[in-house]
Structure 1
Amino acid sequence: MTVTEPSLPASPSPRAATGRVVSVHASGEHGFSKPAVDRIVLVEGVGVEGDAHAGVTVQHRSRVAADPSQPNLRQVHLIHGELFDRLAAAGHDVAPGDLGENVTTRGIDLLALPVGTRLTIGESVVTVTGLRNPCQQINDFQPGLLKQVLRRGDDGAVERLAGVMGIVSRGGTVRPGDAVEVELPAPPHLPLTRV
């Protein structure tokens, strides 16, 4: 199965789509997967309350080692639940939270959103900053999985399919079942790159 490079939304309307939250996840320890919880609290400018990746500056261990003063553009990790369907079709058993996301959604093509898209989720707003860059830990979790979420398209471009990252622009509580409303930024729309 080939995956084409996601296209940017064609609608001229700043309100593009509505989806929903399937599950939410958090962990106070640096690890790969995150357990499901009944709710998460997003803190403006920080991230998911009590999560190991919350902070004003970078919290991912390799990025801290490189430069701990970098701003944290990865406060919230979102994955589209449709990815798990695709992985299952390729023979992988991966459930929400297994890839370490905080919010699992359905009904929105997260990878096709432009930089700066605002996602109203429950009471909160998350501004999309870029793509998650899948790493070897994904293969450590399940052999062969990395090539399903990081590969080259027919045009040779690298495709990163393991979700998007964002910052918390308005804090609030997020629960499974909450609506996710998409508000596109003003044009020109810049495609997501890894952060």
Structure 2
Amino acid sequence: MSVSRDQLHRFSKQSCEAIDLVEDLGVRGDAHAGTLVQHRSRVRRDPNQPNLRQVHLIQGALLDEARDAGHDIGPGSLGENILTSGVDLLALPEGTRLHLGGASVRLTGLRNPCRQIDEHSRGLLKVVVRRVDGVASDSDVELGPTGGVQSVDGVGIVRRAGVMAVVERSGTVRPGDAIEVELPPQPHTPLTPV
């Protein structure tokens, strides 16, 4: 649906006509590109970790849901590089390859939503996380010691803020490019926060 990048470490990214994915690095011209971890909170913990969060993908339906809940949000607002349609990203297993626009990425895990989402738009964190049991809650989302979401009302959550990937084959990605899904061999491992 759209592609975005930003050279600076800001929460949101700027929509653009195309992004270049570079093997083993990420999105050319994006602050999160690199072989080693680039997310500031993770760099503070250990700057020598491999970068498993080179590319951030989100389903367009999440933005629709956020707008329906009253949030002024659009492509790139949640810091995603690629906004998709027609693929249930959250249901895919770890190691799934997505082929798009001549490039290929491998899914490494889920984005763990953090307080920055609520700083961007108050109450948005409740849209991107849900109790695992499906029960609606008016309670605040509970953050863990590293700032990521752990639970709501002491109940585990479903993280819906997108998936993270590494670039395995360089190429250019544009809005409207088809996405081909290549599942890894069985047994499949569900995505977990990365």
Match of 2:109 among 130, 139, 143: 130
Letter in 1 for 2:165: G
Deviation, 1:152, is 1.7
Number of equivalenced pairs: 174
Q: State the distance in 1 between where 2:130 and 2:114 align.
A: 12
Match of 2:79 among 97, 100, 117: 100
Deviation, 1:99, is 0.3
Match of 2:18 among 33, 39, 45: 39
Deviation, 1:68, is 0.3
Which ranges in structure 2 are unaligned for 5 or more consecutive residues?
A: 135-154
Provide Cα deviations, 1:14-33, integer angstroms capped at 9, x if missing partner. Answer: xxxxxxxx000000000000
Deviation, 1:88, is 2.3
Partner of 2:48: 69
Q: State the distance in 2 between where 1:110 and 1:192 align.
A: 10
Q: State the distance in 2 between where 1:93 and 1:32 align.
A: 14
Partner of 2:171: 172
State yes or no: 1:118 paired with 2:97. Answer: yes
SS state at 1:82 partner: helix
Partner of 1:160: 159
CA RMSD of the aligned region, Å? Answer: 1.0
SS state at 2:11 partner: coil
State yes or no: 1:27 paired with 2:27. Answer: no
Deviation, 1:158, is 1.5
Partner of 2:144: none
Q: State the distance in 2 between where 1:36 and 1:85 align.
A: 17
Partner of 1:84: 63
Letter in 2 for 1:177: G
